[in-house]
Amino acid sequence: MMNKDNKQYEVDLQEKLLNQEIFSLDETPYINLEFRIEHKDLSWLWIELHAKLIEVISKIDDLTQIPNRRFFMETLKNSVAMSQRHRMPLCLLMIDLDFFKNINDKYGHDVGDSVLVHFAKIIKTTCREEDFPARNGGEEFYIITPMTDLQGAKTLAKRIQDKVRNSQINVSKFYGKYWNCAICRRRRSKCFSKTS
């Protein structure tokens, strides 16, 4: 039987979960596994916490801590539908770090991973709250920019490029001065058109 203290404990845990004090997409998505539920009446919370952990882990790229391809595809589908329904502009930036293979070959995968993490941080800090950055895999990244026209998407791409060039670690020495960014915008038809 659950007493008053146990009930308050349950409410506190649920509030932490709802307020994302335990889970956060911006920080590491792992729960502190030292956490234990000692009351049999609260064992269902442990199961809920594990389910939430699995859900978060399945949506976040482990290395860069930004959304992964699966979560991106789901969000893109919803964003396109919302854009069409409300007749609002929508752009998609597809960013590929050129010569990234050379980084791994010349400096090793640890350095390559550091470059990817650094680049993901630049994207996260440059994007607006409503933008949705994600890692496709390897050195490919996407950014969904709702309510953004082509000029706004180009401005975002330029800001990211400038931040990369002016970053504290010399990222350009790893992969040169070149990177590609294709910007797609939703047209009246249901498909995207590629714009450079």
Residues involved in catalysis: 139
Query: How crowded is residue 5: how many other Cβ atoms within 10 Å of its Cβ?
Result: 9
Residues 6 or more apart whose Cβ sits within 8 Å of residue 135: 61, 63, 64, 66, 67, 68, 69, 116, 120, 141, 142
| 3-class DSSP assignment, residue 6 | helix
DSSP string, 44-110: HHHHHHHHHHHHHHHHB-TTT-SB-HHHHHHHHHHHHHHHHHHT--EEEEEEEETTHHHHHHHH-HH
Distance CA 57, CA 79 (A): 22
Quickly tell me which residue has 């992969």 as its tokens: 175
The answer to whether 89 and 82 have CB atoms below 8 angstroms apart is no
